[in-house]
C-alpha cells in the first residue's frame, strides 16, 4: 500500500508532505513469528513462520494458515524481520534462501526489510534512497514486534495493510537517504516499519 492506494512500483510518484513526490522501487520485508489470539483466549502460533513479502511479487502477498482454527480473532501479532537464532544457524530454505536478495553475505545476517526509491528530497545526485535494514546482535537488533487488534466481526480472511507511506513518513530523506548496515541509524528506521501496519477489511485487496 501507499497511503490509501495499492502501491505501484516505479511507475508512480506519490506526493508526500515531508519528502516531496516519492517513487518506490523496492518494498520488501520479512514477516515472521505469526501468532493469532482468539476472543476465547486461545492462541495459534504458525510453525516455521517466515514470509518474505515483496511488493513486486503478488503471490508473496497472501498466504493461508491451513492449520489455524477458524474462530473469532482478538488480535494478531508477528515480527518484522528474522530472529537471531535463525540468523546464526546456517543455511535455510524457502523464503529464507540466501539467494532472495535479503541476505548480507560478508557480514552474515538477514536484511529484515528493504525500501528503495527516488525522491527530490534526497541529498545525492541520483536523488535515490536505499534502506536495507537488518542487524540481530545487541544493541542493534532491528527485529520489531507488531500487534494488531482485530476489529470485532472480522471474517476468516484478513487483510494486513503494510503502508510504505507510513514508513516513509518516519524518515527525513533530506537528512539521510541511505542506511545499509546494522547500527543506530538502522534501529531508527526499523521503528518506522514497526508502525506501518494496520488491519483492513476482509474484502479489500
Q: Which residues bind other proteins (CB under 8 A)?
A: 87-93, 96-99, 103, 105-109, 183
- Decide whether 107 or 126 has the Cβ nearer to other proteins: 107
Nearest 5°: the CA angle 9, 23, 168 is 105
The three grid cell numbers given for residue 137, joined into one nine-digit string:
546482535
Contact yes or no for 60/32 (Cβ under 8 A): no
Sequential DSSP letters for 13-31? EEP-TTT-SEEEEEEEEEE
Contact yes or no for 134/25 (Cβ under 8 A): no
Q: C-beta of 195: minimal distance to other proteins in Å? A: 27
Q: C-beta of 93: minimal distance to other proteins in Å? A: 4
Q: C-beta of 52: minimal distance to other proteins in Å? A: 13
- Decide whether 74 or 100 has the Cβ nearer to other proteins: 100
Give CA 91 to chain center in angstroms: 22
In 3-state terms, what secondary structure has residue 147?
strand
- Decide whether 54 or 163 has the Cβ nearer to other proteins: 54
- Decide whether 74 or 92 has the Cβ nearer to other proteins: 92
* Dist CA 151 CA 200 (whole Å): 9
Element (H, E) at 187: helix 184-194
Contact yes or no for 111/102 (Cβ under 8 A): yes
Q: C-beta of 107: minimal distance to other proteins in Å? A: 4
- Decide whether 145 or 183 has the Cβ nearer to other proteins: 183
The three grid cell numbers given for residue 151, joined into one nine-digit string:
476489529
- Decide whether 86 or 119 has the Cβ nearer to other proteins: 86
Q: C-beta of 171: minimal distance to other proteins in Å? A: 22
Q: C-beta of 86: minimal distance to other proteins in Å? A: 11
Contact yes or no for 86/96 (Cβ under 8 A): yes
Amino acid at each position: 500500500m501507499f497511503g490509501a492506494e495499492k502501491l505501484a512500483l516505479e511507475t508512480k510518484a506519490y506526493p508526500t508532505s515531508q519528502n516531496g513526490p516519492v517513487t518506490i522501487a523496492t518494498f520488501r520485508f520479512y514477516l515472521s513469528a505469526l501468532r493469532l489470539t482468539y476472543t476465547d483466549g486461545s492462541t495459534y502460533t504458525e510453525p516455521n513462520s517466515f514470509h518474505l513479502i515483496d511488493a513486486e511479487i503478488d503471490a508473496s502477498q497472501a498466504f493461508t494458515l491451513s492449520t489455524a482454527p477458524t474462530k473469532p480473532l482478538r488480535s494478531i501479532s508477528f515480527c518484522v524481520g528474522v530472529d537471531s537464532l535463525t540468523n546464526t544457524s546456517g543455511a535455510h530454505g524457502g523464503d529464507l534462501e540466501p539467494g532472495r536478495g535479503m541476505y548480507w553475505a560478508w557480514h552474515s545476517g538477514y536484511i529484515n526489510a528493504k525500501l528503495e526509491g527516488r525522491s527530490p528530497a534526497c541529498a545525492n545526485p541520483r536523488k535515490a534512497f536505499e534502506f536495507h535494514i537488518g542487524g540481530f546482535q545487541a544493541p542493534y537488533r532491528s527485529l520489531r514486534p507488531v500487534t494488531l487488534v482485530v476489529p470485532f466481526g472480522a471474517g476468516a480472511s484478513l487483510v494486513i495493510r503494510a503502508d510504505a507511506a507510513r514508513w516513509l513518513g518516519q524518515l527525513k530523506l533530506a537528512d539521510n537517504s541511505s542506511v545499509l548496515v546494522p547500527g543506530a541509524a538502522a534501529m531508527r528506521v526499523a521503528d518506522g516499519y514497526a508502525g506501518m501496519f494496520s488491519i483492513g477489511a476482509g474484502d479489500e485487496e
